[in-house]
Amino acid sequence: MITIKNEFIRAEISEKGAELRSLSVLGKEYVWQADPEFWGKSCPILFPVCGGIKDEEAVIDGKVYKLPRHGFARDCIFELEEVTDTSASFLLRSSEKTLEIYPFNFEFRVKFALEKKSIRVTYGVKNLSNDVMYYSVGSHEGYSTPEGLEEYDIVFPEKVTLYSNDLEGALLGDTATLVIEDSNTLPLKTEYFEADTLIFRDIPVKSVRLRKKDGSREIKVSFPDFDHLMLWTVMGAKFICIEAWNGLSDHKDTDKNLKTKLGIKALSPSSSDEFTHSIEIVR
């Protein structure tokens, strides 16, 4: 476990999955502590795909690859490239093992940097293949709601009307459900998650706040480089995941072609992409 800290905030990051496992201010923990009774992870990183994959199969140039839901980065050991008191950089390289299920040579970097009471997370993708590389990247950060989920609201920076794309199993269906109409506050309700996840495609805002109703606890998650936002929890658990994705689950009628997958990114040979989001501890 790698620890970085400044005078305000402390973070612990595992080399497995480059996963943020703790984020605290004066001993007050804000990240879900991976209780295996409910969900044994804290903040896994999703790469090279986000969400459900139909039959866990992706077709690339006519060949079928067994690519798991949310990809494989979360289960890989990253190389610690660089660490200072307030920052750390982790690297995952393609290998014989990854090439068996994802036929692209790549470098995938995750950098963490503390700035006062914020942590900035930057994902860097470099295509080392001779062909265009198709991929997605996303966060899956679980934030603790120790008093219970329904004691919290999601607060948007402006009034929004949002529909959640309905799921059929782990895949996207053709319908959507109105979740919030002309309001900036979404009170969290357990019932929202009976069918799994709230999926806000092409969300018009680039930050949200998780705020306890009495104002005693609050974080701000900013995602300027991401297209879609997911909210997820496990029934009965005291956490909420706020997930910024550049990618989407497969549609139920997908032909499994990775090149035409919903939300997929395309990266030319020898090119790089970079995406950043941040977590600010407000109180």
Give the span between the Cα atoms of 14 and 73, in whole angstroms: 12
Asked if 12 and 29 touch (Cβ cutoff 8 Å), the reply is no
The predicted structure's pLDDT at residue 28: 94
pTM here is: 0.96
The predicted structure's pLDDT at residue 191: 93
Give the span between the Cα atoms of 144 and 52, in whole angstroms: 24
Q: How many CB atoms lie within 10 A of CB 86?
A: 16
The predicted structure's pLDDT at residue 164: 97
pLDDT tens per residue across all 283 residues of the chain? 999 999 999 999 999 999 999 999 988 999 999 999 999 999 999 999 999 999 999 999 999 999 999 999 999 999 999 999 999 999 999 999 999 999 999 999 999 999 999 999 999 999 999 999 999 999 999 999 999 999 999 999 999 999 999 999 999 999 999 999 999 999 999 999 998 899 999 999 999 999 999 999 999 999 999 999 999 999 999 999 999 999 999 999 999 999 999 999 999 999 999 999 999 999 9
49 three-class SS: coil
The predicted structure's pLDDT at residue 195: 82
Domain ranges in the chain are: 2-149+230-281
The predicted structure's pLDDT at residue 39: 96
The predicted structure's pLDDT at residue 152: 98
The predicted structure's pLDDT at residue 95: 97
Asked if 50 and 58 touch (Cβ cutoff 8 Å), the reply is no
The predicted structure's pLDDT at residue 121: 98
Q: What are phi and psi of 183, to 5 degrees?
A: -145, 160
CATH architecture of the domain formed by 2-149+230-281 = Distorted Sandwich (2.70)
145 three-class SS: coil
